[in-house]
Chains A and B, each alone.
Chain A
Amino acid sequence: MSIASPALSTAAALGVSLSGVSRVFDSKVVLRDVDLTVAPGEIIALIGASGCGKSTLLRQISGLDLPSSGAIAINGERVTGIDLRCSVGFQEPRLLPWRTLEQNALLGLPRGTAKSEGQERVRELLRLVGLADASSLRPRQVSGGMAQRASLARALARRPGVLVLDEPFGALDALTRLQMQDLLLDVHAAEPTTIILVTHDVDEALYLADRVVLLGTDPAAPGSGASIRSITAVPGSRPRDRGDATLAHLRAELLEGLGVHTHHSNH
């Protein structure tokens, strides 16, 4: 699917590098020494137990929050505040209820976009996410999946170099979630961007990502803050087979890393 019109496409996917990123909230260490280099156009899935600081790390990358120490750079340039090279997608669609889906997506455009160009862009994106016929509906008139797709269109509107997604499909039902994963891959193929997404779902991580980053606390040093426990390169190229046997092995390994045993045993 090639929908991005070349005349408008100027931005490219940007690399992200985190070096020694730590975050302390009121003397509670949440993140400790996170080092990660993400290549332009790569898809990274961040997994980890609840409350381990995955979302916090995403907020650092988008500049919504700043690290207590360490540095984050997008394309080699340090992130010092809300960084518009990066778009954020949240677990909730966060659409403005008084705007139509199209008007909501328009919010994602960079300041100073010419009106006609912006509308063209948004129309194109709404088509890409399958909302061409729903563009004039209000958020409360559409399903959760449609709202989340609208928020994805909004996030893509400004051709972000980096797209960070915080459990974007976590609130959706299982079937819609699978459809959204395929949609995200279509979008990634059509729009050049680097994607870093947080998920709880190991299968989702393995299906979407080039690499899966497991975030967690060292069991030997509880309270020391989460850092990267492992980075798993997912073999094969997308689109992957959801039933791939080689992935089953990785799946067990990652679940183990999350503290879940694939075979329930009594001991």
Chain B
Amino acid sequence: MPNRTIAEAPAPETGAGAPASLHQYSSTYGYSAAGSEATPPVEAPVGSRRSTRGWLISAGVVLPVLLFAAWWTISALALVPEHRLPSPASVLEAAVELGSNGTLLTHIAISTQRVLIGFAAGSLIGLALGALVGLSKWGSAFLSPTVGAFRAVPSLAWVPLLVLYVGINEDSKVALIAIGALFPVYTTVAGALRHVDAHLVELGRAYGLSRWELLTQVQLPAVVPSIVSGLRLALAQAWLFLVAAELIASSMGLGFLLVDSQNNGRVDRMFLTIILLGILGKTTDALIGLLEKYLLKRWS
């Protein structure tokens, strides 16, 4: 028997909205990793589960190995001239050369530092803006059109203005990375907070929680999984914007190494940089993935 009462009618819709908007968001970014690894396969019987899991992980190694083999074969057979496709050995040599005098480590360190600071700053601002817009009808009415307009500006379009106002220095690069990291967090957090189970919010109110307590004890914990997905997207964006910032104007960092190598015709170093960017990006993403796993277990 459906026992809907009048009292329930004005309550906003509950549930289901957050995952949907998340999904939509990640597909906008062409990025499907958010949360997908957090659910282990359940159906498989216990005995075969471990080995299935092992095979699934090994499956991810197949393609890189094939790519490497293809690369090695092509360069060994000299199908493509060395100045267009360096051999794996020469890339390794470049790594040793740059690594031995410490420059490579400096490039990596400065880039990582920029990413982390920009990511942290952008995420915090995104979290604050997202909370304002997601929690308050007035905050949303007041802010979301403007934030939406800023988000619509391709973030790299800010570069000339940043250079003009902030100058070519550390701050402008970090600022650009922060801009890149801000919007994914903003969008996911605002969307998720809007869809926090209205029943739980009402419960909090009925038990006399203040707005702040409601936020910290009910609403934020409820959106922890979404926040982590947002952070994951933001981190990917941060690396993207790092390279953009360093390509445009810098004297250090992996983006600089890329431009510098291009100018000097060092295609081996270009390969090295790209491989390093891939490894660094994947590593930081994996770290957030671990955090996500832990938080999902703790908060849902």
Contacts and interface: CB of A to CB of B under 8 A. Distances in A.
Interface string B220-254: 01101000000000000000000000000000000
Contact of A30 (B6, B208, B221, B299): B6
Given A96-B217, A98-B298, 17 more contacts: A25-B9, A28-B6, A50-B1, A51-B5, A51-B6, A52-B5, A55-B5, A62-B206, A64-B205, A87-B206, A87-B207, A88-B203, A94-B203, A98-B299, A108-B207, A167-B3, A200-B1
Contacts of B9: 25
Interface string A157-186: 000000000010010000000000000000
Contacts of B209: 107
B300 interface: yes
B197 to A, nearest CB: 8
Range of interface residues on A (Cβ < 8 Å): 20 to 34
Interface string A63-79: 01100000000000000
Contacts of A52: 5
B208 A94 contact: no
Nearest to B2: A50
A96 B221 contact: yes
A97 interface: yes
A94 B200 contact: yes
B199 A92 contact: yes
Contacts of B1: 50, 200
A247 interface: no
24 contacts: A25-B6, A50-B3, A50-B5, A51-B4, A51-B5, A52-B5, A54-B5, A55-B6, A59-B7, A64-B202, A64-B205, A82-B205, A87-B206, A88-B207, A90-B199, A94-B203, A96-B200, A96-B218, A96-B221, A107-B207, A107-B209, A107-B217, A154-B207, A167-B3
B300 to A, nearest CB: 6
Interface string B104-145: 000000000000000000000000000000000000000000
Given A92-B199, A96-B200, A98-B300, A56 B7 contact: yes
A59 B204 CA distance: 14
Nearest to B221: A98
Decide if the interface of chain B is mainly helix, strand, loop or mixed.
helix
Range of interface residues on B (Cβ < 8 Å): 20 to 34
B238 to A, nearest CB: 28
Contacts of A97: 299-300
A200 B5 contact: no
A267 interface: no
A94 to B, nearest CB: 4
A90 B6 contact: no
Contacts of B2: 50
Given A50-B4, A56-B5, A56-B6, A84 B202 contact: no
Contacts of B10: 25
A115 interface: no
B3 A53 contact: no
Contacts of A82: 205-206, 208
A28 B10 CA distance: 13
B7 A65 contact: yes
B43 interface: no
Nearest to A65: B7
Interface centre among B7, B8, B205 (most CB of A within 10 A): B7
A28 B6 CA distance: 10
B52 to A, nearest CB: 25
Contacts of B3: 50, 91, 167, 170, 200
A168 B6 CA distance: 17
A263 interface: no
A157 B4 CA distance: 28
Nearest to B8: A55
Contact of B203 (A59, A90, A167): A90
